A and B are shown apart, each in its own frame.
Chain A
């Protein structure tokens, strides 16, 4: 089983729609969770960290379910500019170092 799994999509949604992505992880010792956004031919950039209590930033809401080992990203009122690939990142720290696991990304296309 892969460490971090995401549905690659693409998700094609009209402007104004609400869309949700899930990401599952296999290591129950995972400690930190993030969503990154990557535009075509650009580098990934942090969209938001994911906290245990869930967190919201404008139209974006991230949630963590440790029991079921998944994180989610909800985008409300989609804009054309939201079109991108969304990467789920799960990390673990240990005495032997770090483990950084990126999902392969979910592609979102918002259409007029």
Chain B
């Protein structure tokens, strides 16, 4: 069974703090993704990575950066958290570089920025 885990289910941070969201998958997937999900806006892609040290911007990369030093781990970084980054953050992974296949999602991290 594919497992995607995220470091926290709930997180509360203050404006201006640096925030790290960690995602780990155990199926040797090449592709990894970070999304945020907001009511009325659906799922929006922030960044994705199709290999170690590779990253591509999604639809809403502003205010975020990512790191992929190991194949199994993909980190999302909020350099200076702001209240409009309060959201549900979902990580996903999929196999086979170059082709979009089934994505397996982690349980999500609900981030609140005060």
Contact = CB atoms under 8 A, between A and B. Distances in A.
Interface of A: 31-32, 34, 42-46, 49, 87, 91, 93, 97-98, 100, 102-105
B100 A100 contact: yes
A98 B51 CA distance: 13
A102 B45 CA distance: 9
A93 B98 contact: yes
Interface string B30-57: 0001010000111111001010000010
A102 B100 contact: no
B interface, over-half SS: loop
A93 B41 contact: no
A104 B102 contact: no
B40 A43 contact: no
Nearest to B41: A104
A91 B42 CA distance: 16
Contacts of B98: 93
A45 B79 CA distance: 30
A87 B50 CA distance: 23
Given A34-B102, A49-B102, A91-B100, A102 B107 contact: no
A109 to B, nearest CB: 17
The interface centre, meaning the residue of A43, A44, A98, A104 with most chain B CB atoms within 10 A of its CB, is A43
Interface string B2-18: 00000000000000000
Contacts of B42: 87, 102-105
Contacts of B44: 102
A103 to B, nearest CB: 7
A105 B39 CA distance: 10
B106 A44 contact: no
